[in-house]
Amino acid sequence: MALNDGPDRYYYGAGDIFGVLRALQTERSLVNVQFDDGAQLYNTMVLDANLQERYFLIDEVTPRDGHRKIDQRAKFSIRASIHGIKVHAKDLVSARTLNNADGIYYQIPFPAKMLYMQRREAFRAYVPGSMKTTARFSSEEREESLFGRILNMSATGIRIGFPGEVFPEFGALEKFNALIDIHAQDTSLDCQLEIIYFQYSKERNQTLCGCRFIDLPRGSQQIVNRFVTFVQREELV
């Protein structure tokens, strides 16, 4: 059941809440965690949702000092977005901490209600040039690799700028192997990307390109999440 509250809606029914959680899982949306006792933001992702038993699983939070709080049953809230539409749930407490070969995760009972905000607001971390976050794109269809700078990053993709005009121009949904150098955290990300859109800016003499991550493994997704969190914090400093 959903009740309207101005432009937003509250979901109270388990089926509606399950639908939102499943969408967060499918879209691999970045989820912000905030504990009731502080302003510190942590990041995680929804790994699974169980309608019958009314719980969902979230990945280990980053930074890792949040693990102790969840393990001690500290109360927290979550915020995320699905296709730019924000969702929010509060008064959450972990029921169980689980561990397997992939790492730590938590079992969380469904919230009593979930706020589904109608206003669209996509979450992206805008990466300053000073962080020198670069990428090399390569594919079997192209003779030469492409080198560009990451302009923003989210849990599901990147926006990148390539110097000059790219020839041959990108094809619709063209796929690349990419190596992203994240100098600010002394790490790199080896992944596959799919071109969503591209545009040549004559004013900047730059080809701007939006890309979607393809089937990121959990470890790679955690690298993305940690970097997005890092950039977000740097903006607040």
pLDDT by residue (tens digit) across 23-78?
A: 899 888 889 999 988 778 899 999 999 999 999 999 999 888 899 999 999 999 99
For residue range 121-144, what is the model confidence (pLDDT) as tens digits?
446 788 999 999 999 999 998 999
For residue range 113-122, what is the model confidence (pLDDT) as tens digits?
998 875 544 4
Token code pair at residue 197: 């859109």
For residue range 163-186, what is the model confidence (pLDDT) as tens digits?
999 988 887 788 999 999 999 999
For residue range 196-205, what is the model confidence (pLDDT) as tens digits?
878 888 888 9
Evaluate whether 2-120 and 125-236 have a shared fold.
no
Residue 168 CA to residue 157 CA, distance in Å, equals: 22
Paired sense of beta strands 146-153 and 187-201, if any:
unpaired
pTM flag (> 0.75): no
Distances (CA, A) of 219 to 63, 103, 150, 190: 15, 9, 20, 11
Q: What pLDDT, on the 0 to 100 scale, is given for residue 170?
A: 87
Q: What pLDDT, on the 0 to 100 scale, is given for residue 131?
A: 93
DSSP assignment of 80-114 equals EEETTEEEEEEEE--SEEEEETTEEEEEEEPPS-E
Q: Which residues of 115-144 are buried (b: 16+ CB within 10 A; e: fewer)?
A: bbbeeeeebbbebeeebebbbebeeeeeee
The domain covering 125-236 belongs, at the CATH homologous superfamily level, to predicted glycosyltransferase like domains (2.40.10.220)
For residue range 204-234, what is the model confidence (pLDDT) as tens digits?
899 989 898 998 998 999 999 889 888 888 8
Q: What whole-number percentage of the chain has pLDDT above 90?
A: 53
Number of continuous H segments (helices) and E segments (strands) in the chain: 3, 18
Query: Domain ranges in the chain?
Result: 2-120, 125-236
Would the CA dihedral through 192, 197, 200, 203 be positive or negative?
Answer: negative
Q: What pLDDT, on the 0 to 100 scale, is given for residue 3?
A: 47
Distances (CA, A) of 62 to 186, 194, 197, 228: 17, 27, 31, 11
Q: Report yes or no: 105 and 60 within 8 Å, Cβ to Cβ.
A: yes
Q: Report yes or no: 40 and 34 within 8 Å, Cβ to Cβ.
A: yes
Q: What pLDDT, on the 0 to 100 scale, is given for residue 92?
A: 96
- What is the architecture, at CATH level 2, of domain 2-120? Roll (2.30)
Per-residue pLDDT at 2 exceeds 60 = no
Higher pLDDT, 203 or 8: 203
Q: What pLDDT, on the 0 to 100 scale, is given for residue 112?
A: 94
Radius of gyration of the chain (CA): 19
Contacts (Cβ under 8 Å, ≥6 apart) of 237? none
Preceding peptide of 217 cis, ω within 30°: no
Q: What pLDDT, on the 0 to 100 scale, is given for residue 125?
A: 84
Q: What pLDDT, on the 0 to 100 scale, is given for residue 74?
A: 93
Q: What pLDDT, on the 0 to 100 scale, is given for residue 1?
A: 46
Per-residue pLDDT at 8 exceeds 70 = no
Per-residue pLDDT at 7 exceeds 80 = no
Q: Report yes or no: 73 and 93 within 8 Å, Cβ to Cβ.
A: yes
Q: What average pLDDT does the chain have?
A: 87
Instruction: Of 96, 100, 90, 99, give the one whose Cα is nearest residue 33.
Output: 90
